[in-house]
Amino acid sequence: MNYLEMEEMLKIIRRGCAEIISEAELREKIKPGVRLKIKYGADPSSPDIHLGHTVVLRKLRQLQEWGHTVQFLIGDFTGMIGDPTGRSTTRPPLSQEQIMLNAQTYQEQVFKILLPEQTEVVYNSAWCNAMNFTEVVRLAARYTVARIMERDDFEKRFREGRPIGLHELLYPLIQGYDSVVLKSDIELCGTDQIFNCLVARSLQQDFGQSPEVIIALPLLEGLDGVQKMSKSLGNYVGVTDPPQEMFGKLMSIPDNLMFKYFELLTDIELGSLEQIRRDLKANNLHPRKVKADMAGRIVSQYHGEKAAQLAVQEFDRIFRDRELPADIPEKIIAAANLKDGKIWIINLLYEMGLVATKAEGQRMVCQGAVLINQEKVIDHRQDVLIKNGLVVQIGKRKFGRIRIV
């Protein structure tokens, strides 16, 4: 590898990165013909991989394409503790079964991005469960309370008088110890994990190993544009979300987030991204179009070009042109609920499962959200005459076609 190739490679690695600790060490490690071990720790607290995770996964994939091996670590042991990272409250621990179930779906989803033949899946319970109490205490002796408390979320919780479980302080150590066991050369993580990775470096040196290089990627804000994307906040796009939902969710991000999504979630060249930015500023390009382009590219990565196109068409049809979607799920209404072919509008919505409670149904009607065959229902006391095939709609996103049985 000559100088230019090295620079080119580093440029690709740097794309979208928040921090590399350190680049000099990285240059040392990346040598032609050397297959590096690249660790990535996954937290199995939720079963779905979302686009936030893919920021790191995509970077791992890039490294795999240069021949390196990914150590995909499933933190089943740490899951039982509950990762305190970024949390202002203690996380409830998960049951063993739940973790294993999550780990399973994780693995299925992760290979939408990673290359399976260059991925080694490991569980940290394999060595953590084998440790006895003496070993745990000795490990704990390698670090100090002051250094652990440097961690932002601990420090903050402590200062604010919020509880911190003693076990939570152990979390960075365990995670660091994983790197020792795996003899990782590089670790990829989100910026919220940098502290843990630094502990890993320190422990590795203690154990006579060369410290891992940390490549930290930014945390992706979720659909609300403020909080980081996470399942528990419900502001995420799952990699298994159906094309249309994926597209819709991506269209709902605030405009100012488009470029970040472009950079971190698509392969668009940074040059053309700059061009888009200029065109947008000069009013040569409509923001909606840019966002749709971004969303379309991402959908096609997970569902293919054709599905993405369909999703775009469907989106325009429903939200821009205000027409009915192509596929409307059928909802069954028991004939026994009818009186002279009629049913109270509130009961209809409830029976169709379009509202969770009848009170909600009433609210929807009063707010003018309910349409039957495109016609607004005004009176919540109304009995409606129904027949097969009638389309009932609440708002812009809930549809059902009546089928009387």
Partner RNA sequence: GGACAGGUGGCCGAGCGGUCAAUGGCAACAGACUGUAAAUCUGUCGGGCGCAGCCCUACGUAGGUUCAAAUCCUUCCCUGUCCA
Distance in Å, CB of 368 to RNA, minimum: 5
Smallest separation (angstroms) from RNA to the CB of 225: 7
Output the smallest distance, CB 357 to RNA, in A. 3
135 versus 323: smaller Cβ distance to RNA: 323
Terminal-to-terminal C-alpha distance of the chain: 71
Q: How far is the CB of 351 from RNA (least distance, A)?
A: 11
Q: Is 153 helix (H, G, I), strand (E, B) or coil?
A: helix
Residue closer to RNA (CB basis): 77 or 315: 315
- Nearest distance from C-beta of residue 291 to RNA, angstroms: 5
Is-contact 97 48, C-beta < 8 A?
no
| Calculated CA dihedral for residues 175, 178, 184, 190, nearest 10 degrees | -20
Closest to 373 measured CA to CA, from 318, 323, 314, 321: 323
Q: Of 42, 51, 56, nearest to 13 (Cα)?
A: 56
Please give, one letter per residue, the 3-state secondary structure of 33-97. Answer: CCCCEEEEEECCCCCCCEHHHHHHHHHHHHHHHCCCEEEEEECHHHHHHCCCCCCCCCCCCCCHH
Q: Name 150's Cβ contacts closer than 8 Å, sequence gap at least 6.
A: 195
Q: Which is nearer to RNA, 189 or 239 (CB)?
A: 239
Report, in Å, the least distance between residue 293 CB and RNA.
Answer: 12
Torsion of CA 10, 15, 21, 23, to 10 degrees: 20
**Footprint of RNA (CB under 7 A):** 89, 158, 161-164, 223-225, 234-235, 244-245, 247-249, 251-255, 286-288, 291, 315-316, 319-320, 339, 344, 346, 356-360, 362-364, 367-369, 381-383, 394-398
- Whole-angstrom Cα distance, residue 159 to residue 57? 35
CB of residue 162 vs RNA: minimum separation in angstroms? Answer: 6
Q: Which residues have C-beta within 8 Å of that of residue 350, sequence separation ≥ 6?
A: 357, 358, 361
Q: Pick between residue 264 and residue 355 the one whose CB is nearest to RNA.
A: 355
Contacts of residue 309, defined as CB under 8 A and 6 or more positions apart, other chains included, come to: 296
- Amino acid type, 58: R
Q: Which is nearer to RNA, 176 or 222 (CB)?
A: 222
- In the complex with RNA, the residue whose CB is nearer, 183 or 331, is 331
In the complex, minimum distance from the CB of residue 315 to RNA, in angstroms, rounded to a whole number: 6
User: CB count, 10 Å around CB of 101?
Assistant: 14
Quick one: 136 or 285, whose CB is closer to RNA? 285
**Closer CB to RNA, 46 or 202, in the complex:** 46
